[in-house]
């Protein structure tokens, strides 16, 4: 009834005014038996503002409740605190119930306290595979570089596909040279790697670019549509980090990668990137590619091609662009191209 709900809300106000230290037990009892969401939410929001160890000690017992609402409420309340929960949560990581340990891991991460990483690392040794997966994921999101080696060692023996992909995704964030070397050894033939694993793996390769990997990545051309962004990132990083002497003949393979990317259906902004990158290759075939993209259906690619051609030879290509302008209906793109040739 509305009256009863109002009475309970008013009773809460009276309890809150007296202070948490005198009325915590009563407040905890109320949320355990409460059925109205509006009343429960008021208690939760209040407890979230009471950052002290006594609240944590009381609320953390909800981790063992059969009521999913109370379990979720405990995560929400304790996550709102920063330092007080760490000790209690770390003790929960040795609980006999794997679900309680999972809640402790979730809550440790949700505090967003960098010190939580020390306790989350205990989850790497959890006997439940799902808890290990969570610990790996959270350490990556907290950028806990200190644990990169330990997570890399997990990869050596990992068989669960969900654990493997989580490890790779985490190492793409915090991996080091040791991680890279282990991954190269584990995945010697890049063409046999499952598509889902390729994205984090290529992100790791981007952190440690090597000329001898370029030819290997080109072998992935049949999967470029799936990993075009990572391949583009790799090309950019290789060109930025490695000298012309280091690249040597491998420049040819970078060029082939870009040609392949330009030939498949990927988003226009990414093709724009590819056109920009391929412009460093001063060969006639590149000019032909730009001429072809003058007739692209994507305005951004028309402009990119026009810019590159005018950079190469403004006198020669101004007339080519003028021809296209006459058949363009879009006034905005027409104006942009006119500005380029003026």
Q: 70 lies in a domain?
A: yes
Distances (CA, A) of 213 to 58, 190, 273: 55, 10, 21
Exposed/middle/buried for 81, CB within 10 Å: 0-12, 13-18, 19+? buried
Boundary (domain end) residue, out of 54, 79, 113 = 113
Same domain, 219 and 174: no
Tokens of 62: 């909800």
Tokens of 122: 């205990």
pLDDT tens column, 272-287: 999 999 999 988 899 9
* Residue 179 confidence (pLDDT): 97
Q: 11 lies in a domain?
A: yes
* Residue 244 confidence (pLDDT): 84
Same domain, 172 and 218: no
pLDDT tens column, 95-111: 999 999 999 999 999 99
Same domain, 38 and 107: yes
Same domain, 277 and 287: no
Same domain, 15 and 101: yes
Question: What proportion of the chain, given as a percentage, has pLDDT over 70?
Answer: 99
Q: How far apart are CA 117 and CA 264, in angstroms?
A: 42
Backbone dihedral region for residue 52 (phi beyond 0: left; psi -120 to 50: alpha; all else: beta): beta
* 309 contacts 294 by C-beta, under 8 angstroms: yes
Distances (CA, A) of 77 to 45, 47, 173: 8, 6, 29
Tokens of 204: 């790791």
Same domain, 33 and 64: yes
Q: 240 lies in a domain?
A: yes
Same domain, 5 and 85: yes
Give the range among 7-21, 141-155, 210-224 with minimum mean pLDDT: 7-21
Boundary (domain end) residue, out of 82, 113, 144 = 113
Q: 235 lies in a domain?
A: yes
Q: 31 lies in a domain?
A: yes
Q: 118 lies in a domain?
A: no
Same domain, 277 and 293: no
* Residue 337 confidence (pLDDT): 87
Q: How far apart are CA 71 and CA 63, in angstroms?
A: 5
Q: How far apart are CA 229 and CA 331, in angstroms?
A: 31
Same domain, 19 and 97: yes
As for how many domains the chain has, the answer is: 4
Task: Quote the domain boundaries for residue 309.
Answer: 283-342
Same domain, 166 and 269: no
Same domain, 228 and 242: yes
Q: How far apart are CA 166 and CA 175, in angstroms?
A: 12
pLDDT at 2 over 60: no
Confidence at 6, pLDDT banded by 50, 70, 90: confident
* 289 contacts 262 by C-beta, under 8 angstroms: yes
Same domain, 207 and 303: no
pLDDT at 129 over 90: yes
Confidence at 3, pLDDT banded by 50, 70, 90: low
Q: What is the mean pLDDT of residues 29-33?
A: 90
Confidence at 1, pLDDT banded by 50, 70, 90: very low
* Residue 231 confidence (pLDDT): 96
| Residue 245 CB contacts under 8 Å (≥ 6 apart), including other chains | none
pLDDT tens column, 313-326: 888 888 888 888 87
Backbone dihedral region for residue 51 (phi beyond 0: left; psi -120 to 50: alpha; all else: beta): beta
Tokens of 37: 């969401």
């Amino acid at each position: 009834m509305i009256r009863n709900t109002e009475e309970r809300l008013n009773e809460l106000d009276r309890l809150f005014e007296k202070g948490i230290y005198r009325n915590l037990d009563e407040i905890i009892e109320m949320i355990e038996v409460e059925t109205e969401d509006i009343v429960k939410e008021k208690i939760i929001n209040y407890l979230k503002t009471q950052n002290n160890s006594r609240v944590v000690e009381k609320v953390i017992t909800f981790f063992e409740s059969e009521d999913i609402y109370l379990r979720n409420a405990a995560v929400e309340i304790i996550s709102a605190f920063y330092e007080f929960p760490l000790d209690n949560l770390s003790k929960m990581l040795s609980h006999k119930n794997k679900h309680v340990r999972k809640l402790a891991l979730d809550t440790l991460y949700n505090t967003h306290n960098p010190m939580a990483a020390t306790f989350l690392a205990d989850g790497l040794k959890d006997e439940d595979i799902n808890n290990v997966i969570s610990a790996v994921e959270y350490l990556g999101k907290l950028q806990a570089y200190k644990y990169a080696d330990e997570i890399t060692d997990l990869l050596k023996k990992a068989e669960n596909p969900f654990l493997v992909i989580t490890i790779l995704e985490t190492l793409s964030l915090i991996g080091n040279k040791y991680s890279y070397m282990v991954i190269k050894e584990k995945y010697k033939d890049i063409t046999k790697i499952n598509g889902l694993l390729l994205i984090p793996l290529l992100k790791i390769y981007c952190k440690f670019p090597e000329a001898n990997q370029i030819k290997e990545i080109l072998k992935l051309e049949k999967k470029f549509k799936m990993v075009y962004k990572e391949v583009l990132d790799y090309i950019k990083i290789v060109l930025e980090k490695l000298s012309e002497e280091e690249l040597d003949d491998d420049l040819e393979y970078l060029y082939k990668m870009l040609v392949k990317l330009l030939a498949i259906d990927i988003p226009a902004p990414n093709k724009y990137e590819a056109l920009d990158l391929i412009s460093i290759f001063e060969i006639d075939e590149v000019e032909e590619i730009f001429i072809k993209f003058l007739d692209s259906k994507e305005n951004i690619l028309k402009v990119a091609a026009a810019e590159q051609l005018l950079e190469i030879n403004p006198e020669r290509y101004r007339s080519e662009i003028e021809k296209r302008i006459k058949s363009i209906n879009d006034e905005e793109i027409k104006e942009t191209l006119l500005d380029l040739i003026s």
